[in-house]
Amino acid sequence: MRAASIADVPGAQPRLAPWLFLSPFLLVFLVFTAYPLVQAMVLSLQQTFGPQHTRFVGLRNFQFLFSDPLFWTALRNTVVYSLGSLLIQLPLSLGLAMLLETPGLRGGRLYRVILFSPSLVGVSFAAMIFAVIFEKRTGLLNVALHRTIGWNLDFAWLERHVMPALIVASLWMWVGFNMTYFSAALKNVRRDLLEAAEIDGAGPWRRFLHVTIPEISPVAGFVVLLSMIGSFQLFELPYLLLNSTAGPGNRGMTIVLYLYQTGFENSDLGYASAIGWVLGLLLIVMTVFQRVLVRRSEAA
């Protein structure tokens, strides 16, 4: 017989144990994330150029934010990017996952590895390669399109169509990742339901709509949430792609890019923190909204 466990009553759940397991996370989190976060909140109410030169300005940073055209440009660009990304990337990931489920398909594993590999390489590589792809006149995309369908060689992706270019770049980076999630979900779609639907005379599209989609909706919800949160925090990709700027006419400006510019290029940490807080609130609202929707649809 083993030594007595921590609990006084055998089989009962110990009281301290959960906190013991949580403590490393909580400790590191509180020290390295929560504390700087609180400081950032305080910063958002100040203007600062150093500890000797800090002044409390109340909500002035936030007031300025709401009338700042650059902030609204950044917000608009970020929303466009997120929606576009969501509406294009997720169906594609789902489509690829379904293709991989085709009965009788061999070599699925190899396809999976290849399609997943872009997620491994990091943002710097993606930015570098897509800068080359999207260049005017000599970029891979324009040259390829020009030679096949006579596309305009001077089409300026990175000057006038930055958000679509970013959507394509992030598509390359993440479609394999999302596809893996969907693959797992598809594997768990109950065959009996599909077969029953088929027996009832439903065609492939209706089977998809009424059996597959509801079955994978928990995973889909998870992927959508992750994507949205990730999209709203887009920063390194446009920043690197546009050579450490926000692009001509600020067409590549996202919220976090504006935050970075304000904080580190204009050294206005107070205002940058204010932007960060607005973003955080936005994301929380979105998350809550999404979970409410999921709960509603599950109840239905």
Partner 1 sequence: MRPATLRNSGGVTPRVRVSRTRVATAHVLLLAASGLMLVPFIWLLCASLRPADAFFQDLFLPTRDGHVAFDLLTLASFERLFDMAGFGRSLLNSIFLSSTTAILGTLVAAMGGYALARFRFRGSKACTVLVLAAVTIPGPLLMAPGYQFLYRLGLLDSFWGVILPAIAPAFGVFLFRQAILSAVPQELLEAARLDGSGEVNTFFVVALPLVRPMVATFLMIMFLGTWNNFVGPQVVLQTPEKFPLSVAIAQLKSTYYQDYGLQMAGTLVSIVPVLILFMFLQREFVDGLAAGAVKE
Partner 2 sequence: MEAASLHPSFGVKVQRVTPAWVRHRLERLGLVATVTSPVVLAFALLSLASFTAMMVWPIPSREGKTMWLGAPPHFRMYEPMVAEWNKTHESRFRLVLLSQPALERRMLSAFTSGTPAADILEVERRPAARAFMGPLEGVGFVDLTDRLRVEGLLDELNGPSFTPWTSRGRTFGLPHDVHSVMLGYRADIVEAAGIDVSQIETWEDYFRIMKPLLQGPGSTQERYLLNLWETHGDHIELLLLQAGGGFFDPQDRPIIASEVNAHVLAKIISWCVGPDRVCGDAPNFMASGNRLKVEGYVLASFMPDWMCGIYRGEMPQLGGKLKLMPLPAWERGGRRTSVWGGSMIGISKSGVRTPEDFEKSWAFAKELYLSPSLARTLYEVGDIVTPVKSHWGDPIFDRPDAYFSGQPKGRMYLDLAPQVPARSSSPYNTMAWLRVADAATALASWARDNQKFDYVDILPEAKRVLAQAHGQVQAQIDRNVFLSDAAKSGGVP
| CA separation, residue 187 to residues 86, 102, 190, 278 (Å) | 22, 11, 8, 39
| Alpha-carbon span 73 to 94, nearest angstrom | 31
Question: What residues make contact with partner 2 under the rule CB under 8 A?
Answer: 47-53, 55, 57, 60, 64, 69-70, 131-132, 135-139, 159, 188, 244-246, 248-250, 264-267, 269, 271
Q: Is 29 in the site for partner 1 (CB under 8 A)?
A: yes
| CA nearest neighbour of 290 among 282, 76, 272, 130 | 282
Number of residues that bind partner 1 (CB under 8 A): 104
Least distance in angstroms from the C-beta of 144 to partner 2:
15
Question: In angstroms, rounded to a whole number, what is the distance separating the alpha carbons of residues 228 and 212?
Answer: 23
Residue number, 77 or 231, with CB nearest to partner 2 = 77
Residues whose CB is less than 8 angstroms from the CB of residue 11 and which lie 6 or more positions away in sequence, other chains included: none
| Smallest separation (angstroms) from partner 2 to the CB of 287 | 26
Q: Is 88 in the site for partner 1 (CB under 8 A)?
A: no
Query: Would you say 228 or 253 has its CB closer to partner 2?
Result: 253
Which residue's CB is nearer to partner 2, number 132 or number 281?
A: 132
Query: Any idea which residue has 């600020």 for tokens?
Result: 250
C-beta of residue 186 within 8 angstroms of C-beta of residue 98:
yes
CB closer to partner 1 out of 59 and 140: 140
**C-alpha–C-alpha distance, residues 154 and 137, integer Å:** 5
- Pick from partner 2, partner 1, none: which does 3 bind, CB < 5 to 8 A by kind? partner 1
CB atoms within 10 A of CB 250: 18
Q: Which of residues 168-187 bind partner 1 (CB under 8 A)?
A: 172, 176-177, 180-181, 183-185, 187
Task: Give the nearest distance from C-beta 151 to partner 1 in angstroms.
Answer: 15
